[in-house]
Amino acid sequence: MPARPTLILASTSRYRRTLLERLSLPFEAVAPQVDETREPDEPPADMVLRLATAKATEVASRFPEALVIGSDQCAALGTDVLGKPGSHEKARVQLGRLSGQRVTFHTGLCLIDSAGGREWCDVVPFTVHMRDLEPDEIERYLRADRPYDCAGSFKSEGLGISLFRSMEGEDPTALVGLPLIRLCTRLREAGFTIPPGDS
C-alpha cells in the first residue's frame, strides 16, 4: 500500500494547529503567502471560501506531493465583517456592539490533493447568539481572556462561552477556526483513516 502523502496545514494560526492536533495525524504548518484583503462588497461566505482556496492553492504550489488544508474565517454581523480587535479598547467597543446580537462565523475550508488532481472546498457556518452584556462584565471578560487576536473579541473555547445565550450550527470547532467534522469527511475521501490506527 503506498504511503499516504504529507499533510500540510496552510496556516500559522495556533488555534488551527491545536484543533488539527486532535486528529492525531502527523502534519506540518506552512505560512501561506496570500493577500487577505476583502474585495469590495464581497459577501462574507464568498470571502472565506476564496481565501481558504487561495491559501491551500499557494502552499500546494510549493509542495505538490502533499495534501494541503486551507482555512479562513470571519465573524459577521449581518453583512458587516468583524475584524480582530488587536487592542483592549477596540475589543470593548466590538463586544458592546455585539451585545444581544446574532453573530455568524463563516469558515472556509479547502483540501487540495495536487498529485491526485482533486480538490474539496466548503463553507461551514456557525452562529452565536450573544447575551445582553453590561459594560462591567465586558471589562471583566476582556481582562480575563484577552481575546485581542480573535474575530468577534471572544474565545469560545475559553471564558467567552459565558457571553453567549445560545449557539447553533453543525460543528462547534468551526467556531474556533477549523471545522473538524467536515475536514474528517474530506480527509477520509482523500484516503486517510480517521481515527488513525497503529500502522
Q: Residue 29: name the closest of 50, 48, 49, 6 by CA.
A: 6
Q: Which of 35, 41, 46, 72 is catalytic?
A: 72
Residue 72 designated active-site: yes
Active site residues: 72
